[in-house]
Amino acid sequence: MRKNYYLVTTPLQYCNAINISTEGINILIFLSDFEGANTLFDRIRNSTYWDSTYSFSTYNQAFEFINRNVSIEDYLYIDSDYGMRTALKLRKIKTKEIFVYEEGTGTYRSDLISATHPNKILVMLLKFFGVSEYFGGSRFVKGLYMYDVAKHEKLVPDFHKTRLRFRRSFLDNLELIKMDLISKEQRDFYKKLVAGRDVHLYLTNWNYNIKIDKILTDNRNEMKNENALYLLKPHPRLINSEFEFVYDSILSNSALVEILLIDFKKFSKSLTVYHEGSSALLYLTDINQKRID
């Protein structure tokens, strides 16, 4: 029987990976290198969707497992085919049935190399090793799973692989699996935390943007709103966590922010989200948001 291997490295990726329609044996390969990852893995490993689950502490360990176990008949689903490191690893995999699944806003970009590498010789070298300007463009990959095919066709017109749809919309899928990702006790705690409050939530990137300190400090001083609640949601792999602003609460790194945003919007008096291009706002477009440059 066909085996399907899924490489998952963040809570959002788990939500998308489980939304791929497949037949056969489903095997989860989970990268537990972020804060709260082990707790999250203990929850999702019990899902009836998975026939087997494996957790690894490093990217290299995960790919060593893939190289040993994925055969030529198997299917492999990964969050990204971008970068030299990934390209070199994909070259060693036996199966040719490799697919990338949507990971966020980067899926709809067509300048992944040129936007970060101005050196034309380096760009040519990266492309030679199979790195593409867009996700799913590697010569080792057959197709890309996404939510918005029309948007992708418009923004990435040169895409030459197969565009594939997830089986459910993001929000419908999230509703089905939310209990796998966050406990009822956690959701009840967060509901009580924001109930009736004017919530200001900062979603960090991999680094904490110190500009937000002044933005929130000015807001607090000017509004003088005793009902305001200032929250920080760190990225699962936050590197720089130094900041001066005093938040009322710091949320769990591993909590799927999309679930939190849905509940916050529903139970708070008002919600304003500050971010730097967070993928969470890709799926929740009706939330008041302010992007930090």
In a domain? residue 177: no
Q: Does one domain contain both 160 and 187?
A: no
Q: How far apart are CA 247 and CA 150, in angstroms?
A: 40
The CA angle 43-45-51, to the nearest 5 degrees, is: 155
Q: Which residues of 9-46 are buried (b: 16+ CB within 10 A; e: fewer)?
A: bbbbbbbbbbbbeeeeebbbbbbbbbeebeebbeebee
Task: State the total domains in the chain.
Answer: 2
Q: Does one domain contain both 73 and 93?
A: yes
Q: Model-level pTM?
A: 0.90
In a domain? residue 178: no
Q: Does one domain contain both 91 and 223?
A: no
Q: Does one domain contain both 206 and 151?
A: no
End-of-domain residue from the set 141, 172, 203: 172
Tell me the CATH number at 139.
3.40.50.2000
End-of-domain residue from the set 146, 172, 198: 172
Q: Does one domain contain both 64 and 167?
A: yes
Helix (H) or strand (E) holding 201: strand 198-203
Q: How far apart are CA 229 and CA 231, in angstroms?
A: 6
Q: What is the domain range of residue 213?
A: 183-291
The CA angle 219-186-11, to the nearest 5 degrees, is: 85
Contacts of 191 (CB under 8 A, 6+ apart): 263, 267
110, 155 contact by CB (below 8 A): yes
End-of-domain residue from the set 144, 172, 200: 172
Q: What is the chain's percent helix, strand, coil content, to nearest 5?
A: 35, 20, 45
Q: Does one domain contain both 153 and 193?
A: no
Q: Does one domain contain both 222 and 199?
A: yes
Q: Which residues of 227-264 are buried (b: 16+ CB within 10 A; e: fewer)?
A: ebbbbbbbbbebeeeebebebeeebbbbbbbbbbbbbb
In a domain? residue 19: yes
Q: Give the pLDDT of the chain (293 residues) as one tens digit per residue.
A: 899 999 999 999 999 999 998 899 999 999 999 888 999 999 999 899 999 999 999 999 999 999 999 999 999 999 999 888 888 899 999 999 999 999 888 999 988 877 776 777 777 777 777 778 899 999 899 999 999 999 999 999 999 999 999 999 999 999 999 888 888 898 999 999 999 999 999 999 989 999 999 999 999 999 889 999 999 999 988 877 788 999 999 998 888 899 999 999 999 999 999 999 888 888 888 899 999 98
Q: Does one domain contain both 158 and 197?
A: no
Q: Does one domain contain both 197 and 232?
A: yes
User: What torsion, rounded to 10 degrees, do the Cα atoms 128, 134, 137, 138 define?
Assistant: 40
Q: Does one domain contain both 145 and 231?
A: no
CA 37 to chain centre: 13
Nearest in space to 247 (alpha carbons), one of 219, 207, 270:
219
